Amino acid sequence: MRTGAEMHALVERLYPICRSITGDGVRRTLDVIGEHLALERHEVPTGTPVLDWTIPREWNIRDAYVADGTGRRVVDFAEHNLHVVGYSVPVNRRMPLAELREHLHTLPDHPQWIPYRTSYYAPTWGFCLSQEKLDALPEAEYEVVIDSTLADGGLSYAEHVVPGTVTDEVIVSCHVCHPSLANDNLAGIAVAISLAQALAETKPRYTYRFLFAPGTIGSITWLARNAERIDRVKHGLVLACAGDPGPLTYKESRRGDAEIDEVMRYVLRERPHRTVEFSPYGYDERQFCSPGFNLGVGSLTRTPYAGYPEYHTSADNPGFVSPEAMEDTLAALQDAVGVLERNRRYVNLSPYGEPQLGRRGLYDSLGGRSDAKQAQLAMLWVLNLSDGEHSLLDIAERSGLSFDVVAVAARALHDAGLVKE
Amino acid sequence: MRTGAEMHALVERLYPICRSITGDGVRRTLDVIGEHLALERHEVPTGTPVLDWTIPREWNIRDAYVADGTGRRVVDFAEHNLHVVGYSVPVNRRMPLAELREHLHTLPDHPQWIPYRTSYYAPTWGFCLSQEKLDALPEAEYEVVIDSTLADGGLSYAEHVVPGTVTDEVIVSCHVCHPSLANDNLAGIAVAISLAQALAETKPRYTYRFLFAPGTIGSITWLARNAERIDRVKHGLVLACAGDPGPLTYKESRRGDAEIDEVMRYVLRERPHRTVEFSPYGYDERQFCSPGFNLGVGSLTRTPYAGYPEYHTSADNPGFVSPEAMEDTLAALQDAVGVLERNRRYVNLSPYGEPQLGRRGLYDSLGGRSDAKQAQLAMLWVLNLSDGEHSLLDIAERSGLSFDVVAVAARALHDAGLVKE
Amino acid sequence: MRTGAEMHALVERLYPICRSITGDGVRRTLDVIGEHLALERHEVPTGTPVLDWTIPREWNIRDAYVADGTGRRVVDFAEHNLHVVGYSVPVNRRMPLAELREHLHTLPDHPQWIPYRTSYYAPTWGFCLSQEKLDALPEAEYEVVIDSTLADGGLSYAEHVVPGTVTDEVIVSCHVCHPSLANDNLAGIAVAISLAQALAETKPRYTYRFLFAPGTIGSITWLARNAERIDRVKHGLVLACAGDPGPLTYKESRRGDAEIDEVMRYVLRERPHRTVEFSPYGYDERQFCSPGFNLGVGSLTRTPYAGYPEYHTSADNPGFVSPEAMEDTLAALQDAVGVLERNRRYVNLSPYGEPQLGRRGLYDSLGGRSDAKQAQLAMLWVLNLSDGEHSLLDIAERSGLSFDVVAVAARALHDAGLVKE
């Protein structure tokens, strides 16, 4: 799966499934992801302590509606799964509109859109509907049914690993807990799958771990169950909102100067983009960047969290995300991986004066003139700054040369025995 | 004493007293301050070594004048105490204007103003007068009388302490050595008294020490006599020129990044103000910030030292300072104290992942919607940055939230047992 | 030799000599320099290993030409030594223009100029000529003669030392390997000689070492042969392109914050100039700033390396450099030396409070009023910042006072026993 069209088809296929932080919707979603990637799947029982939290009861829903006196369903979960507030407790009652109203959520500013609401940790129920639909409801008595269950079960998540030559890991994390919302985060899931497939065709240096887990509680669960593995996580990205029409946005890690931050700033420089500082709200970077972990994990989105009117509404549908945008997000990620994979610190083994490049054939091997000039400069820069302090990306930034030119020069010097890792 | 009117009345009352670095004028000034604040008063005998200095002889003056051939006083100390150069030695002679001229000081650019001059450490004498008055003096012989004494005595200063719950101190220092100059520094004295009175009504955490002492030699004396106490001084402000019409000016401590510097920059940001870097001239910050002490002491003025034409002239009279300006200076000081008192470094006791705020009622307790959103963000920021490195003010600066919102959130987290000091 | 006219006369005298990285041209050049400065001269035999390099065979040339069928020399080394590619191997053949062309170098964009080309480390031969001359050559057979020798011999370089009162050294390095190119680097040689002569008239604190050596291999040779002396080199400048009409350019050392960098930034601030960051190409700063040495050596030029059209062409002739430009370069160097010589870190011996300057006569000794004010401020700044961390130049930069005023104040405080080195 590599083309935007294939990614978009996956978004459309996943869109109708009703997901929440637990339940069968997540499992069906992981089933579909599993058709593309080999997954290690996990079920963590209700009641399990995870860091400061506890795995909640599992929520499932079969049906839900508001019907009028004639039995006609005026709000129907079968039409759109956003119609029910996530984690609604069961209800089966008749009540007048006046009482029902306290459980209804609309978006007056966008009268045709259905909002997305949840109440994971406070037991209540509710329906979401368009303002227009609400305005059309006559004052009358309605039948209100939510056929849901909240029962012991488990939290589901999955991992896919692309093994590298070293055990140092790069983590790519996507939340899989949102129901029919395309950009947030089915587009992220589709792009992550494509990235994993592309990586598998290379022999990466780092081990890449893709995490498909419910937001907040899912990453907390993973962190709780992998305490002994955390030290291996050298870099990471939380991937979300990967398909909307906006430019790319990189949100820095809490550290702000982690290598992933430098890589993303470099990769995005030539593209339309925004870079924003870390803040402790948004997606699962909140957990990876909590002060106890403080991992080098940033977040890549297009338009960020809560930054577009369609965010958390029925307008975030497959029409809101485009094949082109997902391809662009994927391309940026592949560029970032390309830099990350090759970014090292070398040590000049001949640090006193310049080594004589000519006698080693390092001038002759350069080909065409303007390329040769660049390559020669790059070798001089790598030799001069390879003191163990500067990475190749640092050298590219300081010299103004491209990372590719610097990395090629470093490889040539390495092959000539002039630098070592 | 809290209103601008009360502070201005005090300025007017203190204005006629002839002060210098020693003598009865200082003692009478401390008497008046003592009507408002309980003072610990000190007399340090002439000849006492204090750091690199020695307490000088005490200067007192009864009368001084220049009289013409008819006995008419053409320059009269009784009219304005600026007419005599401070620390003038006694004189009682007749001399022609030509000889007298070498002892006369005027301000040609401001022909109606009397300048302020002193000669503390070189034995000489002189008169100050307006250029207009000088121009009107006929060439003739004059009787010149300065009925002053320079004799062993002492240097007088006083302290007022508002005790706190900790022994760490905040020092507020005002010079009390200038004669009839209203802004420099009677306004500072009045504002300091008001601040001390306001603090006494709270139960401050820090112990606040107010120092009323002659400039330079006074602070040097205090530093010399309190060597064992200096380590307690965590923050300080030298307060001067507190009543002129200009905007507030904060002069940073020598360190530039002391907590008082951060607090003042924060507090002044929303007001018209200027911030200037430390320089080793001005008021007693010179002594507190000498390299051996290097205390976190800045200086708050309105228009700074030597920054206004009326500076050190008879035009710095009670009409030059306003009740409103003194109230504004006081308000800024109270805001600064409010931040300083609450600014701490907390440690997140649950630093791995976010703690579950909902289960502790920290979301429910939030009241109205937009407040609630701010408070929630503030809690997330405090949790994320409470690693022992960041103060609440640091967190406010980084998050863009107000210090108040951050401090309230920290208090709530502290009460919930999620952070500790 | 101090005037621009004298320096320009030296440039004209050295211009005709055919120099290369080895050979008699360098020796004759050192002979001329030796008429102005006492030189310690060195000959390092072919084959000697120097760092990563080896002293090459020595190149000398007697004659070279291209002659047409009539015996007329159409390209003649005797006319201009740039006509022969440096280090050309001997040749004596007849060949058609088509074959000869592969050994001819021109500058199509500047059809009247002869380029400068060398091939030190690849054995080949060639001629350089103007595009106009090449265009005028008929297709015919030519006699091609280069009467050169490449044989064991040695590399020549020389040092001149101006002894100081300390053994810490300042190095001034000039390359002497370029043939008839005036700005690059005969002007640099002339300015260096003048600087050395001027220094000899003072009693400098630092020991100044002037190095006249071929580019790259010469400085590498010096570094290789002076390993035990390198630690003494505290500051340095590579001097080149010292006479063209452009403004001065300072290229920072690799460290960027070395004292020489601070000094040069200060000295150049009031002149037209450019400052550029270190890069590992240019002149012999490449070697001094290789990561193993990482010396505080910057480079002073007017228009820098490769930055002007005349660079490495016959248009870089004595008419391209002016007496005025060389005088200006010399003046900047003398200013820099003036700052470097006096720049120290003092320690305030009376760091608690201000010492009483008046009692030591430090106010009285000040002369005129505005000077006195500056001098007083300078003393306060020196006292305040003399904590062992700040140099006098740091103090000048922070205070906004001139280095001269600060240095005079420091001297007065030193003489009064208030600061020590």
Check CB contact under 8 Å for B348 and A292.
yes
Instruction: Report strand pairing: B154-162 vs B207-213.
Output: antiparallel
Tell me the CATH number for domain B60-149: 3.50.30.90
Residue B183 carries which side chain, given as an amino acid letter?
N
**What pLDDT band is residue C2 in, cutting at 50, 70 and 90?**
confident
Check CB contact under 8 Å for B280 and C350.
no
Q: Does C394 touch chain B (CB under 8 A)?
A: no
What is the chain A residue with the closest CA to B350?
A52
Q: What are phi and psi of B185, to 5 degrees?
A: -150, 30
Contact A70, A141 (CB under 8 A): no
**What pLDDT band is residue A368 in, cutting at 50, 70 and 90?**
very low
Segment A37-59 shows an average pLDDT of 98
Burial profile C316-332: b = 16 or more Cβ within 10 angstroms, e = fewer = bbbebbbbebbbbbbeb
Check CB contact under 8 Å for C359 and B121.
yes
Shortest Cα distance from A364 to chain C (angstroms)? Answer: 10
- Count, residues in chain B: 421
Segment C175-199 shows an average pLDDT of 98
Q: Does C223 touch chain A (CB under 8 A)?
A: yes
Residues of A with Cβ-Cβ distance to C53 under 8 angstroms: 353, 356
Q: Does A400 touch chain C (CB under 8 A)?
A: no
Tokens representing B233? 């001084």
Q: How many Cβ atoms sit within 10 Å of the Cβ of residue B27?
A: 16
C316-351 pLDDT tens trace: 999 999 999 999 999 999 999 999 999 999 999 999
Check CB contact under 8 Å for C353 and B122.
no
Comparing CB atoms, the residue among A51, A121, A290 nearest residue B384 is A290
d(CA A377, CA A354) in angstroms, rounded, equals 12
What is the chain C residue with the closest CA to A418?
C52
Contacts of B337 (CB under 8 A, 6+ apart): B170, B195, B199, B204
Nearest CA to C325 out of C354, C355, C302 is that of C302
Residues facing residue B297 across a β-bridge: B236
Shortest Cα distance from A383 to chain B (angstroms)? Answer: 37
Q: How far is CA C404 from CA B150, B280, C337, C342, C395, in A?
A: 40, 19, 13, 9, 11
Residues of A with Cβ-Cβ distance to C122 under 8 angstroms: 358
Residue A366 scores a pLDDT above 60: no
Domain locations in chain C as residue ranges? 4-56+154-341, 62-151, 345-420
Contact C291, A348 (CB under 8 A): yes
Shortest Cα distance from B177 to chain C (angstroms)? Answer: 18
Q: What are phi and psi of B302, to 5 degrees?
A: -90, -110
Q: Does A280 touch chain B (CB under 8 A)?
A: yes
Residues of A with Cβ-Cβ distance to C276 under 8 angstroms: none
Contact C382, C395 (CB under 8 A): yes
Q: Does C216 touch chain A (CB under 8 A)?
A: yes
CA dihedral of residues B389, B393, B399, B404 (deg, nearest 10): 140
Contact A187, A243 (CB under 8 A): yes
Q: What angle do CA A302, A304, A306 make, to 5 degrees?
A: 140
Q: How many Cβ atoms sit within 10 Å of the Cβ of residue B153?
A: 19
d(CA C111, CA B214) in angstroms, rounded, equals 81
Contact A133, A74 (CB under 8 A): yes
Shortest Cα distance from B375 to chain A (angstroms)? Answer: 13
Check CB contact under 8 Å for B353 and A291.
no
Q: What angle do CA B30, B31, B36 make, to 5 degrees?
A: 90
Nearest CA to A51 out of A187, A221, A182 is that of A221
Nearest CA to B328 out of B187, B178, B117, B219 is that of B187
Between residues 287 and 306 of chain A, which touch chain B (CB distance below 8 Å)? 287, 289-293
d(CA A215, CA A240) in angstroms, rounded, equals 11
Q: Does C352 touch chain B (CB under 8 A)?
A: yes
Shortest Cα distance from B254 to chain C (angstroms)? Answer: 9
Kindly tell me the number of DSSP H helices and DSSP E strands found in chain B: 12, 19
CATH of C4-56+154-341, one of 1.20.1260.10, 1.10.287.3510, 3.40.50.300, 3.40.630.10: 3.40.630.10
Residue A200 carries which side chain, given as an amino acid letter?
A
* CATH 3.50.30.90 correct for A58-151: yes
Q: Would you state the pLDDT for residue A373?
A: 85
Check CB contact under 8 Å for A291 and B355.
no
Q: Own/partner pairs for A196-204, CB < 8 Å, 24+ apart?
A: A196/A37, A196/A160, A196/A162, A196/A172, A197/A1, A197/A2, A197/A36, A197/A37, A198/A2, A198/A330, A198/A334, A199/A162, A199/A337, A200/A162, A203/A164, A203/A165, A204/A162, A204/A164, A204/A165, A204/A337, A204/A341
How many Cα atoms occupy the beta-carbon half-sphere of A351 within 13 Å? 15
User: Which helix (H) or strand (E) segment is A101 a member of?
Assistant: none
Instruction: Report strand pairing: A53-54 vs A49-50.
Output: antiparallel
Q: Would you state the pLDDT for residue B365?
A: 44
- DSSP string covering C56-80: --EEEEEEEEEE-TTS-EEEETTT-
Tokens representing A364? 């002759």
Q: How far is CA C136 from CA C94, C133, C143, in A?
A: 19, 5, 17
Q: Would you state the pLDDT for residue B373?
A: 85
Q: How many Cβ atoms sit within 10 Å of the Cβ of residue A67?
A: 16
Euclidean distance between the first and the last CA atom of chain A, given in angstroms as a whole number: 35
Q: In C166-309, where do the E strands start and end? A: 169-175, 207-213, 233-239, 248-251, 273-276, 297-301
Alpha helix locations (H) across C168-258? 187-200, 217-225
Instruction: Report strand pairing: A248-251 vs A297-301.
Output: antiparallel
How high does pLDDT run on average in chain A? 96
Contact C197, C1 (CB under 8 A): yes
Hey, do C4-56+154-341 and C62-151 end up sharing a CATH topology, with the first three levels equal?
no
Residue A35 scores a pLDDT above 80: yes
Alpha helix locations (H) across B275-315? 285-288
Q: Would you state the pLDDT for residue A370?
A: 58
Tell me the CATH number for domain A345-420: 1.10.10.10
Provide the angle, in degrees to the nearest 10, between the axes of the packed helices C187-200 and C4-14: 130
Above pLDDT 70, what percent of chain C?
98
Nearest CA to C234 out of C211, C207, C198, C194 is that of C207
Comparing CB atoms, the residue among B52, B216, B254 nearest residue C350 is B52
d(CA C237, CA C337) in angstroms, rounded, equals 11
**What pLDDT band is residue C364 in, cutting at 50, 70 and 90?**
low
Contact A29, A81 (CB under 8 A): no
d(CA C321, CA C241) in angstroms, rounded, equals 9
Comparing CB atoms, the residue among B352, B385, B387 nearest residue A223 is B352
Nearest CA to C54 out of C138, C152, C201 is that of C152
Contact B65, B77 (CB under 8 A): yes
Residue A365 scores a pLDDT above 80: no
Mean pLDDT per block of 10 residues along chain B (421 residues) reads 94 98 98 98 98 97 97 97 96 97 97 95 93 97 98 98 98 98 98 98 97 98 96 98 98 98 97 98 97 98 96 98 98 98 97 93 58 90 96 98 97 97 92
Residue A121 burial by CB count (10 A; 0-12/13-18/19+): exposed, middle or buried?
middle
Q: Does C385 touch chain B (CB under 8 A)?
A: yes
What is the chain A residue with the closest CA to C287?
A353
**What pLDDT band is residue C238 in, cutting at 50, 70 and 90?**
very high
SS3 C163: coil
Segment C404-413 shows an average pLDDT of 96
Residue A296 scores a pLDDT above 50: yes
Cα-only R_g, chain C: 25
d(CA A148, CA A139) in angstroms, rounded, equals 26
Q: Does C198 touch chain B (CB under 8 A)?
A: no
CA dihedral of residues A323, A324, A329, A332 (deg, nearest 10): 140
Disruptive mutation site among A345, A354, A386 for chain C (greatest number of C CBs within 10 Å): A354
Residue C368 scores a pLDDT above 50: no
Q: In B214-255, where do the E strands start and end? A: 233-239, 248-251
Check CB contact under 8 Å for B352 and A280.
no
Residue C372 scores a pLDDT above 90: no
Residues of A with Cβ-Cβ distance to C287 under 8 angstroms: 353-354
- The class of domain C62-151 in CATH terms is alpha beta
Q: How far is CA B256 from CA A76, A143, B262, B294, C13, in A?
A: 64, 69, 9, 11, 57
Q: What are phi and psi of C148, to 5 degrees?
A: -120, 165
Alpha helix locations (H) across B214-322? 217-225, 259-268, 285-288
Comparing CB atoms, the residue among B121, B223, B279 nearest residue C353 is B223
Check CB contact under 8 Å for A291 and B359.
no
Contact B261, B199 (CB under 8 A): no
Shortest Cα distance from B61 to chain C (angstroms)? Answer: 24
- The class of domain B4-56+154-342 in CATH terms is alpha beta
Classify residue A418 by its DSSP letter. Answer: S
